[in-house]
Amino acid sequence: MKIDKSPETIHKMFNSVAQRYDSLNNLMSFGTHNYVKYMSIKNLDIKPHDSVLDLCCGTGDLARIVKKIQPEAHVTGIDFSEKMLEIAVSKNPNIPARQVKYIQGDVTDLPYDNNSFDFVTMGFGLRNISNAEKAVEEAYRVLRPQGCFLHLDFGKKNIVSKIYDKTTPLLIRLASGNSISYSYLINSKKIFPLPEELIKDFESKGFKLKKREDYLLGVISAQIMTK
Ligand SMILES: C[S@@+](CC[C@H](N)C(=O)[O-])C[C@H]1O[C@@H](n2cnc3c(N)ncnc32)[C@H](O)[C@@H]1O
């Protein structure tokens, strides 16, 4: 299966779904994505004043959860879709110390020095990047030694996952009248490596596996890697 993952196409697609992204995520996952995101961040044991970079932050779910769990952390979210970022920024609280800093940028070319962050996170992002290897290399480069990289995305391709693949486009069509972007989601999910393959890819870039956590019968998987 060939999918167009050129940065231009992906950028345009996320800009066009940005307004509906959160509500469709809630619908497609029956709200469970919030639980999975919360649990995977909780696993990281982020301390006050730790620095956290959320790659492909989108509308800011993971970055906000970090701030909720550890309000004293310094959190930056980066994404190339200005429309997704507009929504993320609009969700920042009024108190400056409680805010996430959002930056527009490409995660395959991060504007940070080597070893800059204690944690790097990425949820449901890598699957959309044509040069995924470069994004992983960049995550490794900006992470400090012994820091943690959390990668979260779809995992096992089991019966639950297959039911999801069949029902999602239908749900989206009923809810929004447009299933084009979400057919992309299903197709990108089908060709995305399994968690065990991803771990090998991450290890080939220098990461070491700290922990793997599977959620929702393995449909979603988190890999926590150290540098
Ligand atoms: C499926 S969304 C995930 C958003 C968020 N992390 C979440 O869990 O809801 C994928 C995001 O990756 C962003 N993205 C894709 N390729 C990117 C790249 N090369 N650089 C920066 N952002 C990128 C898209 O703009 C989009 O906001």
Nearest to 184 by CA among 196, 169, 167: 169
Alpha-carbon span 52 to 93, nearest angstrom: 18
User: What is the mean predicted confidence (pLDDT) over 192-196?
Assistant: 95
Enter the tokens of residue 43: 């696993």
User: What is the distance between the alpha carbons of residues 97 and 67, in angstroms, rounded to a whole number?
Assistant: 10
Could you tell me the distance, in angstroms and rounded to a whole number, from the CA of residue 50 to the centre of ligand 1?
A: 23
pLDDT score at 133: 97
pLDDT given at position 92: 96
Mean pLDDT (the chain, rounded)? 92
Q: Who contacts 78 (Cβ-Cβ below 8 Å, separation ≥6)?
A: 53, 54, 55, 56, 57, 102, 103, 104, 105, 107, 110
Q: Tell me how crowded residue 97 is: count the other CB atoms within 10 A of its CB.
A: 8
Percent of all residues in the chain with a pLDDT value above 70, rounded to a whole number: 95
- Which residue's alpha carbon is at the smallest distance from atom 26 of ligand 1? 58
From the CA of 122, give the closest atom in ligand 1.
Answer: 6
Residue recorded with tokens 């989108």: 58
Regarding predicted confidence, which is higher, 211 or 3? 211
**Residue type at position 56:** C
Pocket of ligand 1 (CB under 6 A): 7, 10, 14, 56-58, 61-62, 79-81, 84, 106-108, 123-125, 128-129
Task: Inform me whether the pLDDT recorded for 174 exceeds 90.
Answer: no
Higher pLDDT, 175 or 143: 143
pLDDT at 187: 83
DSSP characters over the chain: ------HHHHHHHHHHHHHHHHHHHHHHHTTHHHHHHHHHHHTT-PPTT-EEEEET-TTSHHHHHHHHH-TTSEEEEEES-HHHHHHHHHTS-SSGGGPPEEEE--TTS-SS-TT-EEEEEEES-GGG-TTHHHHHHHHHHHEEEEEEEEEEEE---SHHHHHHHHHHHHHHHHHHS--HHHHHHHHHHHTSPPHHHHHHHHHHTT-EEEEEEEEGGGTEEEEEEE-
Q: Please determine, for residue 31, whether its predicted confidence score (pLDDT) is greater than 90.
A: no
* Distance between CA atoms of residues 105 and 83, nearest Å: 13
pLDDT 10s digits, 53-101: 999 999 999 999 999 999 999 999 999 999 999 999 999 999 998 999 9
Q: What is the mean pLDDT of residues 1-14?
A: 88
Higher-confidence residue: 29 or 6? 6
What was the pLDDT predicted at 132? 96
Confidence label for 155 from pLDDT (cuts 50, 70 and 90): very high
Confidence band, pLDDT 50/70/90 cuts, at residue 203: very high
- Spatial separation of the C-alpha atoms in residues 57 and 64, rounded to whole Å: 10
Q: How far is the CA of 200 from the centre of ligand 1 (A)?
A: 22
Residue 131 gets the label, from left (phi > 0), alpha (psi -120 to 50) or beta, of beta
- In the reported structure, the alpha carbon of residue 177 is separated from the centroid of ligand 1 by a whole-number distance in angstroms of 23
